[in-house]
Amino acid sequence: MTIKFKTIKEIKKMISQKEISNKEIVQEVYKLIDENIHLNAFVTLNEDNSLKKAEDLDNNPSDSPLAGIPIAQKDLFCTKGVRTTCGSKILDNFIPPYSATVIENLENAGCISVGKTNMDEFAMGSSNETSYFGNVHNPWGDKLVPGGSSGGSASAVAAGIVPAASGTDTGGSIRQPASLCGITGLKPTYGRVSRWGMIAFASSLDQAGPMARTVEDCALLLNEMCSHDIKDTTSLDENIPNFENNLNQSLKGKKIGVVKDLDLSSLDNDVVSVYEDSLKEFVSLGAELEDISLPNLSLSVPTYYVVAPAECSSNLSRFDGVKFGRRSENPKDLEELYIQTRSEGFGDEVKRRILIGSYVLSAGYYDAYYKKAQQVRRLIKKDFDEAFSNVDVIMTPTTRGPAFEMGSKGSDPIQMYLEDLFTISANLAGLPAMSLPNGNIDKKPIGLQIIGNFLDESTILNFGHMYQTKTNWHMHTPDGVKE
């Protein structure tokens, strides 16, 4: 009995019927990690602790909702006693004395954290080619990127190593790799999941979320990831529904917003065709299509690449070689310690964004760039507010195309930034959004994005689950179609 490509729900059933022990599950996970070492999906493993927790569960069965479920954790969640690097040389020796709230919530629900997944350095990237620990590979092709920044998590789930993983999404970093790896990924409403213990990139945009094979599994994970956290001042003190309860609601009469000012001309015809076929599936489920306008949507990418670098330049100033992490050897004075530590410890993309952020926040440029970007951000949010007065969800492609080859876009940062064209706006507006598999192009998966209204994850999960009851794209794996 194998857990490869099994969902959380299927593994829970296997455990309850005693078809497999918790220890056997964990042992298989590490066997699968070894067999897929070429993917470079993991930075640090947690084998001894995982086996001990599995044995404890075998000896003392738990009724916790996710008891025994192996999960991979993105390597920017601080994890007590486990190396946490954020994909950076500057933190390659950092072992936190505490765990992030997300880690605690999932482990309290019974999950077994088997290891920390590789990622773009400090979550800055759309291809997982900026990690100090090397590129992550997409299991759908030897030279294909898995997307970023949560590429290690997406690759591990897509390869069937684990049924689920945690990710974070600042401008699409859950949804974009989910699309390129053929899995389901959800970015919740900003503030729905605590950011305490997440190593910050852009504090007003970062949000943790689940990555799994199915929408149903994402709902199971989100139930446990959410909590109001007094340690996080951006954490929302709002009612948290059971996200499983509304998965099977009829879509009859529900309205899907189709963005009429969305420029699809730069996309391949196959991408547009897959997207339009998905809309037809929803119509067959009873939903109605309605044209909407998001006139400022085209400004999302330039707005994001002012706001995010500005916040990153502030957040990353703490990495100075004094308090924690790597320290340059033998500096002659304090200034040289700062300069050498950051020069040696940060990669090129991180340095680029710090420089951009410092520039747009500097005297004489703050009003022209950062303040203006925040004003445009407000307009983008206003467009969404108006649209959601008429529709239940908004749908777009998740990405401009399927996974591309490593090295094909690294020389042009602008082309790489445009990979987040469809995802960034949901982060700027703080809205929940999900990507789920909706087709294959040249034998590579691609995803559909569903954006929901503020705190309305239940509706996008409902839409996604009903789509997955009618289609089998989420069952496609690099090995074929799982029955």
The predicted structure's pLDDT at residue 43: 98
Side by side, the strands of the sheet bearing 393-397 are: 42-45, 112-117, 70-74, 164-168, 208-212, 184-187, 433-441, 444-452, 393-397, 255-259, 288-292
pLDDT for 259 beyond 70: yes
Catalytic residue among 53, 74, 116, 409: 74
User: pLDDT tens for residues 324-334?
Assistant: 888 988 889 99
Q: How confident is the model at residue 307 (pLDDT cuts 50, 70, 90)?
A: very high
- The predicted model scores a pTM of 0.95
Catalytic residue among 173, 179, 425, 458: 173
The whole-number average pLDDT for the span 225-242 is: 96
Mean pLDDT of the chain: 95
The whole-number average pLDDT for the span 23-28 is: 98
The predicted structure's pLDDT at residue 413: 72
Whether 74 sits among the annotated catalytic residues: the reply is yes
The predicted structure's pLDDT at residue 308: 95
Catalytic residue among 149, 155, 235, 458: 149
User: Superfamily assignment of 8-254+389-481 in CATH?
Assistant: Amidase signature (AS) domain (3.90.1300.10)
Q: For the chain, which residues make up each domain, given as ranges?
A: 8-254+389-481
Dihedral Cα 192, 131, 75, 146, nearest 10 deg: 60
The whole-number average pLDDT for the span 439-461 is: 97
User: Which percentage of the chain shows pLDDT scores above 70?
Assistant: 99
User: pLDDT tens for residues 335-353?
Assistant: 999 999 999 999 999 999 9
Q: How confident is the model at residue 418 (pLDDT cuts 50, 70, 90)?
A: confident
Q: How many residues does the chain have?
A: 483
| Residue 275 to residue 262: CA distance in whole angstroms | 13
User: Which percentage of the chain shows pLDDT scores above 90?
Assistant: 89
The predicted structure's pLDDT at residue 482: 65
Contacts of 462 (CB under 8 A, 6+ apart): 246, 247, 248, 249, 251
